[in-house]
Structure 1
């Protein structure tokens, strides 16, 4: 039964990675496509490859997810906790994708873990949740917005005397680099969350005693995320690329560079599972705010913020219900 439960959890984790890929594909490529720096298929291919490379670049976030959020549930229903967390996250991803809301796959997964843990009486490491999830959840968008604003101001000053046509052409080319950088940051952050869940399942079932991430787990999660990215996410792309603020190549480059810088910092320095969606959306708002306040459609931003707020408890509730069902069936 342990093997069967483990196989099911691994399949669910890879399924989550796949939904994460098409749910968050828009994060890295929305601005590059909307500014015509890249065609849709070229952008998706680039994002898929860079997601794959990013997923192979580190495991710090995976270890945080595996041991820093909830206690290892060694009870007979331990795998139900892990499975329910994934069910909650996947269902929330699909729901927000359907409505075109760029919510956080990361916070859906963490919320699912906490929800399933609470209903099963598994210990939640609240200090880890606060330090590694809640504080970064608030701080990273603020940093993304501020950095996007400052980088855009810097670009406006640097190109103040440039020919607009030549500047746009140069920045469209630069966007290929910045979009690649952002896609790599997305892979670095988001693939590791599923790695952490699989490692947690391996520990729960006694197949390993520590929290190191096996190579097969890294490769499987990287491939699933890349495949999901290739399948695309047009609904959310329209929200990020057009509805919040009409992006130019300069705005797209500034937003992508700003967001990727935040993702690298949080992954390599703090090993914190932050939301790529939150960071990118905030960076887009930051570059838009350099034009004029009304240039940013703040009503759309408000809809997105509502999705942010609801994600953690919403996915947690779904996961709690999933645990109760799984517990009854086991």
Structure 2
């Protein structure tokens, strides 16, 4: 009964400290919140979709800028490949007679359109015949490779397309390498002033010893040891879950009081029982965390040494 009374006092005290309910969601506030995270120009206006690549890389980073540059130029590559390769091949295929297609115009007009007396039905039949002819005549099977012009046109366009792709791959590789080299020359990286150490013993490694060992190469700013804290992390996650449940029960208690003006006896007993169980779990988890913090965790064999200056 004493624990129930304590929990009742805690619940009422927390209820008294609760802030007023949040206002209803506003579309204007949501729009401003979303706009806050969008890239902007120095004047505060949103970054234009037609901005230069240098402005784009300033906001998104070099990696994203290089990728978007690759996407843009690859699109132009396919446009050029369509103009100089695909269209001539379609023309060569349409000029052939490999599929023995009847042309829907002239003396070879389709019989369905010619024999149909209804004007609308004749139009539909003729349009369907034209679409099918254009579709099948553009296929490679309709090309007459016995004709020297068609064969040479296919060979020339395929050769040009292969050469174009090879040149493009080489050019985009050199461009990306040049851009990355330019970025690396103007920026500092973590590897310029830090190093990773592997293969350390689990129980005989200290940050002071590593700092003394690597001080030969320069002034050491900090040493970060990687330790096996899986049990502590598990307890922290468990504590976070219990705290969330604790807050949820208090919110449920507050809603019940607000709706009824006073909690019913059955609901009161049920909520207090759940709060008592959650509080007991929180205290047990806190004790386990304190015991885990007092134990020295073994080293995983990895460490990061950071130097004070770039040598």
Alignment TM class, shorter chain as reference = under 0.3
**Counting helix residues as a fraction of each chain, which structure ranks higher?**
1
- Which of these two proteins has the greater Rg computed from alpha carbons? 2
Task: Specify which structure has the bigger relative contact order, considering alpha-carbon pairs within 8 angstroms and separated by 6 or more residues.
Answer: 1
**Counting strand residues as a fraction of each chain, which structure ranks higher?**
2
TM-score, with length taken from structure 1: 0.24
